[in-house]
């Protein structure tokens, strides 16, 4: 499968703690994106990181990309109850592919 894996599959932490999710992939990518999905809803784009970038920030979110290890991580700092959701990484596998391949997701639960 070209999907790669996300790790962990599920994560429960106390409110205020940091949450880290990881995504691996198997072939070269043009970009990697992270999306959030609240239960029963559509996906919301969080961050896009390109293959020549190593780190990006957006508010409480930090994404890193290590192309040598074919992996990415999403860090959510100072978690809130509203961060409870599923988080997916999606890869554009090579330039001009025109589509994204989604990982299996991490289910994050923030305990108030």
Partner 1 sequence: DAMVIQNPRYQVTQFGKPVTLSCSQTLNHNVMYWYQQKSSQAPKLLFHYYDKDFNNEADTPDNFQSRRPNTSFCFLDIRSPGLGDAAMYLCATSTVAGETQYFGPGTRLLVL
| Contacting positions for partner 1 (CB under 8 A) | 3, 30-31, 33, 35, 40-45, 48, 88, 90, 92, 95-105, 107
Distance of closest approach, residue 103 Cβ to partner 1, in angstroms: 6
Distance of closest approach, residue 13 Cβ to partner 1, in angstroms: 20
| Phi, psi (deg, nearest 5) at residue 34 | -115, 135
Structure tokens at 49: 């990181």
| Residue closer to partner 1, measured from CB, 43 or 76 | 43
Structure tokens at 57: 């920030």
| Residue closer to partner 1, measured from CB, 15 or 48 | 48
Q: What is the largest CA-CA distance in the chain?
A: 43
Is residue 73 within 8 Å of 18, Cβ to Cβ? no
């Amino acid at each position: 499968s070209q999907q790669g894996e996300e790790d962990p599959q599920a994560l429960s932490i106390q409110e205020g703690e940091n949450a880290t999710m990881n995504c691996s992939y198997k072939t070269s990518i043009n970009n990697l994106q992270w999306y959030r999905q609240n239960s029963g809803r559509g996906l919301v784009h969080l961050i896009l990181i390109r293959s020549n970038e190593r780190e990006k920030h957006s508010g409480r979110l930090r994404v890193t990309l290590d192309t040598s290890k074919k992996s990415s991580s999403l860090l959510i700092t100072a978690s809130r109850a509203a961060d409870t959701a599923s988080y997916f990484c999606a890869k554009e596998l090579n330039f001009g592919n025109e589509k994204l391949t989604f990982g299996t997701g991490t289910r994050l639960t923030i305990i108030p």
